[in-house]
Structure 1
Amino acid sequence: MARIPVSQTTLTPIVLGLVRIVVGLLFACHGLQGFGAFGGIDGQGGAVPFGLWPGWWAGVIETAGGALVLLGFGTRAAAVVCSGTMAYAYFTVHAPLALLPLQNMGEPAAIYAWVFLLIAVLGPGRFAVSGLLRRRPVAREERVPAGV
């Protein structure tokens, strides 16, 4: 069986792009829960009251930021905001309950904060809308048949 050599240089942007897409989708879905989607915040379709700080605003940031990260548009800025939002959530909601994330139910917030920070530093990887917008169409030469 022949081995196909695949370099880290080839795989890293692909895996980073896939991680960005999955994390962005999950984060956007989490944000939509605050507006009553996917069972809402109570499992019965309940939503956070409009404008309520910080829950409603967190839902806006999670939905919009997750969508931007998912698409790979404004990825670094969106990822920084998402990371900060999750760090804020961890330290204001979870940390006062107990020392460790396993004890204070803050694992998702901590993981999201660090993954979004990683995306902000490394960039969007492959499959990003911003990458498609940067590409220029290649000019095609029109060939005239010889003798015409």
Structure 2
Amino acid sequence: MSTLKLAPEYGASLFRIVVGFLIACHGASTLFAFPVNGHTVSPLVWPGGVAAALQFGFGVLVLIGLGTRTSAVMLSGTMAYAYFSVHQEKALLPMQNGGEPAALFSWAFLMVAIVGPGPLAFDALRAKVKAKVPVAAGSEPVAVV
């Protein structure tokens, strides 16, 4: 059973990677028609193009685990905005208004922001490197936050 102690942490990392990849693909398909061919939108067009640019940019950051919590909060808010501004006016429930993906993404990114990036992230690597920086002789050690 001791081998399962790290399962939740690595599970959080895998969840973050998958959700980041999915939202980055969604933004990329809107901006670049890749990986799905279709209608593209300029990133300067409000709200669809701006949302696609946020989805792609912050999605890649969540995927690699860099600035994870901030990026996840931004994406959670973006998807909540999409749900309430696009889907909610059609019907009350997500099953009725086609807003299930937006609602799920919003809550998934809120969870990533709360739980954190996990061990498989550039944020975790950066924290390890920062913790191993030697203290110069004669200077006082600095607390790592």
Q: Displacement, 1:103?
A: 0.7
Runs of 4+ displaced beyond 4 Å: none
Contact 2:43/2:53, CA 8 A, preserved across alignment: no
Which residue is equivalent to 2:71?
Answer: 78
**Distance in 1 (alpha carbons) for counterparts of 2:109 and 2:76:** 5
Gaps of at least 5 residues in structure 2 are 135-145
Per-residue Cα deviation, 1:97-127 (whole angstroms, up to 9, x for no partner): 1111011110000000001001101110120
SS of the residue corresponding to residue 46 of structure 2 reads coil
Contact 1:39/1:46, CA 8 A, preserved across alignment: no
Name the % identity.
45
**Distance in 2 (alpha carbons) for counterparts of 1:59 and 1:17:** 23
Which residue is equivalent to 2:20?
Answer: 24
Q: Is 1:130 aligned to residue 131 of structure 2?
A: no
Contact 1:65/1:78, CA 8 A, preserved across alignment: yes
Which residue is equivalent to 2:29?
Answer: 33
Per-residue Cα deviation, 1:59-117 (whole angstroms, up to 9, x for no partner): 11000111000000000000000000000000000000111101111000000000100
Which residue is equivalent to 2:142?
Answer: none
Q: Displacement, 1:49?
A: 3.5
Higher helix proportion: 2
TM-score by length of 2: 0.84
Higher Rg of the two aligned structures: 1
Number of residue pairs the alignment of both structures matches:
131
Q: Displacement, 1:48?
A: 1.2
SS of the residue corresponding to residue 117 of structure 2 reads coil
TM-score by length of 1: 0.82
Change (3 A) 1:101 1:12: same
Contact 1:85/1:113, CA 8 A, preserved across alignment: yes
SS of the residue corresponding to residue 59 of structure 1 reads helix
Q: Displacement, 1:38?
A: 2.5
Aligned pairs for 1:57-136 within 5 A: 57-136=50-129
2:11 corresponds to which of 12, 15, 34: 15
Q: Displacement, 1:138?
A: 9.0
